[in-house]
């Protein structure tokens, strides 16, 4: 950790807890700041706040009182999930109090360089691919996961050595709160419309993502998806050196696909079919990871071997095994139509049974119909099952099952399948109609498969 006196004797408000808030508060306290923690959750039910109180910090819970700002804070470190429309933040902006997220704090104290990964889809998979490839070959130090993937950046940065790399997944929410954050390598996997309830407009969302390159220079490398015209245009606006990737071979300056093979510039890395997880989107993820690996000096053989054995990230087209000679995949993280479309693109749909459905957010599934065409069967559940039945009939799926529980979904999926088929949970919907989160939904799916069917050798 770099030594710094920047926060010593400064009054700093940490707004919102969860993992990143706790880590930020503890680090600031260690650096000599006078830390006040404010969390909406009441103290009696807030173990994290209780622990910080015991460690000597001022803790205010149950609400975000605006008059708290009268304390004269030098800055606010906010939880990324708290929108800037929150009244206390609106007032802080009026008072010109700087507002950051904890990744900015991490950048201040990190001895290790950052590899930053953002984008609408594929962030976690790409981050994990990079982490595994680098650690398969690193001669000095290690790659460390950080950020939105579940490890607070400032906590990881505190323990990182100069020879390490912080492989950091970054959300648009986090990137709105940076000023000096400076990755040496950065990736934007893709840009689609998302989080408009938070950002207000697509332009504001894209602007937040583009913040990742704000402090990069020509010595730094910005890896962009040139399958997207928007990112091609944005590439003209950065000071960083741009390394493109694409699946159509239209540019050969970075990583690309040609005749079903993955290249980096003139070097053949592997065939696309060798990647351990299916789907065109995972080819894109692999291309982005290959760019980082080559820039970090990893050999082609190590890259290939790591990607061949890559089984995915939990709940993201995760291969959970063969059961009764059917391949089973858990893609519970597919909480929107686009994610399910991308998942379906990686399968032979004539031998695929899809389990879908969940929270009804008011949208129809007409745009999913082309991706449903040729499916062997579909099992629908949750609030959206009636809408999915309409889409399934329009797509001409011959076998349609309506169920109420994951147990029945799994049983019917196996009933509809034959030896050699695949079964995919990819809901195209959020989980909150029946589950606390998509992780719980995925865990229930895996549990029901294992409970009722034998794993094939």
The CATH number of the domain holding residue 376 is: 3.90.190.20
Residues 162 and 27 both lie in one domain: no
12 membership: H or E segment, kind and range = strand 11-15
Q: What percent of the chain has pLDDT over 70?
A: 100
Whether residue 132 is found in the same domain as residue 260: yes
Number of domains the chain contains: 3
Do residues 124 and 52 share a domain? Answer: no
- The Cα–Cα gap between 427 and 63 comes to 35
Residue 58 lies in a domain: yes
pLDDT of residue 194: 81
Q: Are residues 191 and 340 in the same domain?
A: no
**Angle formed by the axes of helices 102-109 and 18-30, nearest 10°:** 40
pLDDT for 48-100, tens place per residue?
999 999 999 999 999 999 999 999 999 999 999 899 999 999 999 999 999 99
Task: Kindly state whether residue 353 falls inside one of the protein's structural domains.
Answer: yes
| CATH number of 155's domain | 3.40.1190.10
What local confidence, expressed as pLDDT, does residue 138 receive? 79
Q: What is the pLDDT of residues 178-193, one digit of tens each?
A: 999 999 999 999 999 8
Whether residues 393 and 273 fall in one domain? no
381 shares a domain with 364: yes
- Look at residue 140 in the predicted model and tell me its pLDDT: 85
pLDDT in tens, 345-393: 989 999 999 999 999 988 899 999 999 999 999 999 999 999 999 999 9
Please give the pLDDT value at position 446.
98
Q: Please tell me whether residues 96 and 149 are part of one structural domain.
A: no
Q: pLDDT tens-digit profile of 99-134? A: 999 999 999 999 999 999 999 989 999 999 999 999
Q: Is residue 2 part of a domain?
A: no
Annotated binding site for ATP: 119-125
> Quick one: 182 and 297 in the same domain?
yes
Domain that holds residue 55: 11-100
Q: Which of 28-32, 137-141, 276-280, 325-329 has the lowest mean pLDDT?
A: 137-141
Within a domain: residue 112?
yes
Instruction: Name the strands in the sheet holding 221-225, side by side, starting at the edge strand that comes first in the sequence.
Output: 143-147, 165-169, 113-118, 185-188, 221-225, 241-246, 255-258, 261-264, 267-271
Question: 56 and 116: one domain?
Answer: no
Q: What is the pLDDT of residues 27-37, one digit of tens each?
A: 999 999 999 99
Q: At 42, which CATH number? A: 3.40.50.720
The answer to whether the beta carbons of residues 17 and 48 sit under 8 Å apart is yes
Quick one: pLDDT band at residue 172, thresholds 50, 70, 90?
very high
Could you say which of 308, 343, 376 is where a domain stops?
Answer: 308
Question: 90 and 190, same structural domain?
Answer: no
Indicate the SS3 state at residue 210.
helix
Residues at the binding site are 119-125
Q: Please identify, among 285, 308, 331, the residue that sits at the C-terminal boundary of a domain.
A: 308
Structural domain contains residue 82: yes
The whole-chain average pLDDT of the chain stands at 95
* Domain-ending residue, one of 100, 120, 151: 100
Residue 343, domain member (yes or no)? yes
Q: Tell me whether residue 344 is in a domain.
A: yes
Q: Of 392, 383, 344, whose CA–CA distance to 363 is shortest?
A: 383
Asked if the structure places residue 284 within a domain, the reply is yes
The pLDDT confidence band at residue 246, using thresholds 50, 70 and 90, is very high
User: Are 44 and 182 within one domain?
Assistant: no
Residue 163 shares a structural domain with residue 222? yes
Taking alpha carbons only, the member of 282, 186, 276 closest to residue 240 is: 186
Q: What is the pTM of this model?
A: 0.86
pLDDT of 202: 93
Q: Which residues contact 366 (CB under 8 A, 6 or more apart)?
A: 391, 394
For the stretch 263-316, pLDDT in tens is 999 999 999 999 998 888 899 999 999 999 999 999 999 999 999 999 888 898
Residue 150 pLDDT: 87
Q: What is the pLDDT of residue 362?
A: 87
């Amino acid at each position: 950790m770099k030594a710094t006196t920047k926060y010593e004797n400064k009054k700093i408000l940490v707004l919102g807890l969860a993992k990143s808030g706790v880590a930020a508060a503890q680090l600031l306290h260690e650096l000599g700041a006078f830390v006040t923690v404010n969390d909406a959750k009441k103290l009696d039910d807030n173990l994290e706040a209780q622990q910080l109180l015991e460690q000597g910090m001022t803790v205010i819970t149950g609400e975000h009182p605006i008059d708290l700002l009268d304390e004269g804070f030098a800055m606010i470190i906010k939880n990324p999930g708290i929108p800037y429309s929150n009244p206390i933040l609106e007032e802080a902006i009026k008072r010109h109090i700087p507002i950051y997220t904890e990744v900015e704090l991490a950048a201040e104290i990190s001895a290790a360089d950052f590899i930053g990964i953002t984008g609408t889809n594929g962030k976690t998979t790409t981050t994990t691919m990079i982490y595994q490839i680098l650690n398969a070959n690193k001669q000095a130090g290690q790659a460390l996961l950080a950020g939105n993937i579940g490890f607070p950046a400032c906590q990881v940065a505190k323990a990182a050595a100069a020879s390490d790399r912080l492989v950091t997944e970054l959300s648009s929410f986090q990137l709105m709160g940076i000023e000096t954050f400076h990755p040496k390598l950065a990736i934007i996997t893709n840009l689609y419309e998302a989080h408009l309830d938070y950002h207000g407009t697509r332009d504001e969302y894209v602007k937040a993502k583009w913040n990742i390159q704000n402090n990069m220079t020509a010595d730094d490398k910005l890896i962009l998806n040139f399958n997207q015209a928007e990112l091609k245009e944005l590439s003209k606006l950065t000071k960083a050196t741009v390394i493109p990737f694409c699946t159509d071979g239209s540019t050969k300056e970075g990583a690309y696909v040609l005749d079903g093979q993955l290249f980096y510039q003139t070097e053949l890395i592997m065939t696309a079919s060798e990647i351990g997880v299916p789907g065109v989107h995972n080819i894109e993820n692999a291309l982005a990871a290959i760019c980082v690996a080559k820039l970090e000096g990893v050999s082609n053989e190590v890259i290939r071997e790591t990607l061949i054995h890559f089984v995915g990230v939990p709940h993201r087209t995760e291969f959970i095994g063969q059961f009764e000679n059917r391949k089973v995949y858990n893609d519970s993280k597919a909480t929107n139509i686009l994610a399910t479309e991308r998942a379906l693109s990686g399968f032979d749909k004539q031998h695929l049974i899809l389990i879908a459905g969940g929270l009804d957010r008011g949208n129809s599934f007409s745009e999913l119909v082309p991706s449903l065409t040729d499916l062997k069967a579909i099992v629908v559940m949750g609030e959206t099952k009636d809408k999915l039945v309409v889409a399934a009939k329009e797509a001409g799926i011959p076998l349609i099952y309506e169920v109420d529980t994951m147990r029945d979904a799994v049983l019917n999926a196996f009933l509809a399948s034959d030896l050699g088929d695949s079964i995919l949970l990819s809901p195209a919907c959020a989980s909150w109609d029946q589950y606390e989160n998509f992780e719980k939904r995925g865990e229930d799916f895996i549990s029901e498969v294992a409970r009722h069917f034998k794993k094939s050798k």
